[in-house]
Amino acid sequence: MARPRVLSGIQPTADSFHLGNYLGAVRQWVTLQETHDAFYCVVDLHAITVPTEPAALRRRTRVAAAQLFAAGLDPERSTVFVQSHVREHAELAWILTCQTGMGEAARMTQFKDKSARYGESAASVGLFTYPILQAADILLYQADSVPVGADQKQHLELTRDLGQRFNHRFGDTFTIPEPYILKEVEKITDLQDPSAKMSKSSSSPAGILDVLEQPGPLRKKIMRAVTDTETEIRFDEENKPGISNLLRIQSALTGTPIPDLVARYAGQGYGTFKKEVAEAVVDAFAPIRERTEKLLGDEAELDRMLAVGAERARAVAGRTMAEVRDRVGFLPTS
Ligand code: TRP
């Protein structure tokens, strides 16, 4: 039997992935390629929903793709591609936009959060319709499941609704995908504000661990991570969010269960603990950074790898779109 298909996307909006992206998405994508027919895209069409410099977009798209390969996505097994290389994404997004109610789109909470940063009327219509483009990404590939963080649940619900609606109105066309919510334990918070998720829009660079960062600054940030005034190392999300976050990081990177770590550090100070967390982070990131730098050093080769991915993606997306076009009543092109 064919392997179930997964599809996921990541935005090229930073010059490096951070630890939250790595543990919460990228590393689990790598695992999924063992058991699934995997499609992963760098979603540059989504990136331009907010003001974006062309040169930065170009650089960040390559950096994102290089990190995906460097983290272990194997171009032989996984289809890694750039969203804008497959024109069908924008085309299907338009058709789905015409199946989406204004009220339905207006209920998407991420728009409210993101547009608050610009002022709602300054935000682009693209930011408003962002979840519909995401639905197109998923439905085009007939994905069975979509590995995403819990914050994407609402977008997945919309995707399912739009897929079902289309199937109902025009006939069975799309696989209705299941969300594959990535592990909660790997939710990583900001080092300077442990109540907030680690994210590029968070407190300050000091709160974020970047995959492509050098060992020195990585160690420094971890040593300076906000903890609490106690001395005991234990997992207590509510009273000790900083220590709990470091335990989660250490556990996720070394594979040692949190209770074993707590036992190991009994009677030890925060300093020793933090040093070991820092080593775990450096050990995980250094090889990825080195491979990323190598890939970025040969842009022609990286672009060629992405062209191969785009071609494979286009084959699938093209098949879906041919059916969609016919079902909605567009005339065949000659
Ligand atoms: N919206 C997702 C995020 O911010 C990124 C994304 C775009 C995505 N298209 C997708 C995720 C398709 C899964 C499937 O994380």
Phi, psi of 80 (to 5 degrees): -105, 125
196 and 151 Cβ atoms separated by less than 8 Å: no
Name the residue type at position 89.
H
Q: Going by CA atoms, what residue is nearest to atom 11 of ligand 1?
A: 9
Q: Which residues are catalytic?
A: 114, 197, 200
Residue 204 is predicted with a pLDDT of 85
> Ligand 1 atom closest to Cα of 131?
1
User: Side-chain half-sphere of 12: how many Cα atoms within 13 Å?
Assistant: 28
For tokens 């076009």, the residue is: 325
Question: Would the CB of 175 count as within 6 Å of ligand 1?
Answer: no
Q: Going by CA atoms, what residue is nearest to atom 3 of ligand 1?
A: 10
- Give the CA distances from residue 161 to residues 93, 164, 286, in Å, rounded to whole numbers and listed in that order: 14, 5, 42
Question: Would the CB of 37 count as within 6 Å of ligand 1?
Answer: no
- Using DSSP bridges, classify how beta strands 79-82 and 145-148 pair: parallel, antiparallel or unpaired: unpaired
83 and 47 Cβ atoms separated by less than 8 Å: no
How far apart are the two ends of the chain, measured CA to CA in Å? 35
- What is the whole-number distance in angstroms between the Cα of residue 332 and the centre of ligand 1? 31
Q: Going by CA atoms, what residue is nearest to atom 6 of ligand 1?
A: 9
Cα 113 to Cα 97: distance, rounded to the nearest angstrom? 21
Question: Would the CB of 152 count as within 6 Å of ligand 1?
Answer: yes
pLDDT in tens, the chain (334 residues): 789 999 999 999 999 999 999 998 999 999 999 999 999 999 999 999 999 999 999 999 999 999 999 999 999 999 999 999 999 999 999 999 999 999 999 999 989 888 888 777 889 999 999 999 999 999 999 999 999 988 899 999 999 999 999 999 999 999 999 999 876 555 789 999 998 988 877 668 999 999 999 999 999 999 999 999 999 999 999 999 999 999 999 999 999 999 999 999 999 999 999 999 999 999 999 999 999 999 999 999 999 999 999 999 999 999 999 999 999 999 998 7
Question: Would the CB of 8 count as within 6 Å of ligand 1?
Answer: yes
Q: Going by CA atoms, what residue is nearest to atom 14 of ligand 1?
A: 8
Helix (H) / strand (E) containing 148 = strand 145-148
> Ligand 1 atom closest to Cα of 11?
5
Question: Would the CB of 148 count as within 6 Å of ligand 1?
Answer: yes
